[in-house]
Amino acid sequence: MSSEFSRTLSLLRQEKGVSQRTAAGALGISQALLSHYENGIREPGLAFVVRACDYYNVSADFILGRTLSREGNMLTKQDILNAAEPGNILKGSVLATLQSKLLSGAVGVLFELLGKLGDKNAINAAAAYLGSAVYQLYRHLYRAAGANETYFALDASLCAMGIADADQKLSEAQYVKALKEQKSQKKEFPDLSSSAITAAFPGRCQSLNQVLSTSDARLNSLSQQ
């Protein structure tokens, strides 16, 4: 069982506002054993997972990190947009953890597909594109927190001019070029049909589908404004 289960189990208990001792008693195990489960030291059996789902009122898919929905279904665009609203069941560290799972699952599928294509230029360009996005978001957070930006080699004034944005566009162009070259050489691309993706990535395909559908709906809405 993945470490994501351990983190989710711990986050759900914290969100419920109960101690390990209280939760362990309700779940019919010792506090020490629950601590082992929450820290990923030991893996629980199916019976415990079922009890934990009942206790925290979530689905097995949710507690195992396969979906953002506590009921086990794919979230809609509006669910994602409303996730941080006051009173929503997805909040704080739980929301951050689940969004991280969603994106990491989708990115993992993307790179495995690129790996099957076997083009290092496409892989490196995709990594550069995503790396610049993470760089920008982290640097904004770093700046807002009042940290000393001398940590970064890129001058703050140059960063503000959009160099990272330009790098992303360049990386995207290199990515598209690499794919076109593969196609011109009649290389075999992986099967991207829904059935093939589901079969190849039975768990993470949900993450990919959710990221694609949510982003598609958001971008389509922007295009119509």
pLDDT digits (tens, 9 = 90+) for 98-131: 778 788 889 999 999 999 999 999 999 999 999 9
How many separate domains does the chain show? 3
Distance of CA 62 to the CA centre of its chain: 13
Tokens of 209: 């589908």
CB contact at 8 A, 165 and 215: no
Specify whether 145 is located in the same domain as 174: yes
Q: Scan for tokens 């809405």, then name that residue.
A: 221
DSSP string for residues in 10-45: HHHHHHHT--HHHHHHHHTS-HHHHHHHHTTSS---
What is the distance between the alpha carbons of residues 208 and 197, in angstroms, rounded to a whole number? Answer: 9
pLDDT digits (tens, 9 = 90+) for 28-50: 999 999 999 999 898 888 889 88
Specify whether 61 is located in the same domain as 103: no
User: Which domain-ending residue is among 186, 202, 217?
Assistant: 186
Alpha-carbon torsion (102, 104, 110, 113), positive or negative:
negative
Specify whether 138 is located in the same domain as 165: yes
Domain span at residue 207?
76-117+191-225
Q: Is residue 127 a part of any domain in this protein?
A: yes
Tokens of 118: 């076997």
Q: What is the CATH number of the domain that holds 15?
A: 1.10.260.40
pLDDT at 24 (0 to 100) = 95
- Nearest to 218, CA basis, from 67, 80, 74: 80
Specify whether 129 is located in the same domain as 172: yes
Query: 0.85 exceeded by the pTM?
Result: no
What is the distance between the alpha carbons of residues 101 and 207, in angstroms, rounded to a whole number? Answer: 8
**pLDDT surpassing 90 at residue 27:** yes
pLDDT digits (tens, 9 = 90+) for 79-93: 555 554 555 555 556
pLDDT digits (tens, 9 = 90+) for 137-183: 999 999 999 988 888 999 988 888 889 999 999 999 999 999 999 99
Q: Could you give the angle at the alpha carbon of 104 between the alpha carbons of 102 and 106, nearest 5°? A: 70
Q: Is residue 71 a part of any domain in this protein?
A: no
- Nearest to 68, CA basis, from 55, 81, 50: 81
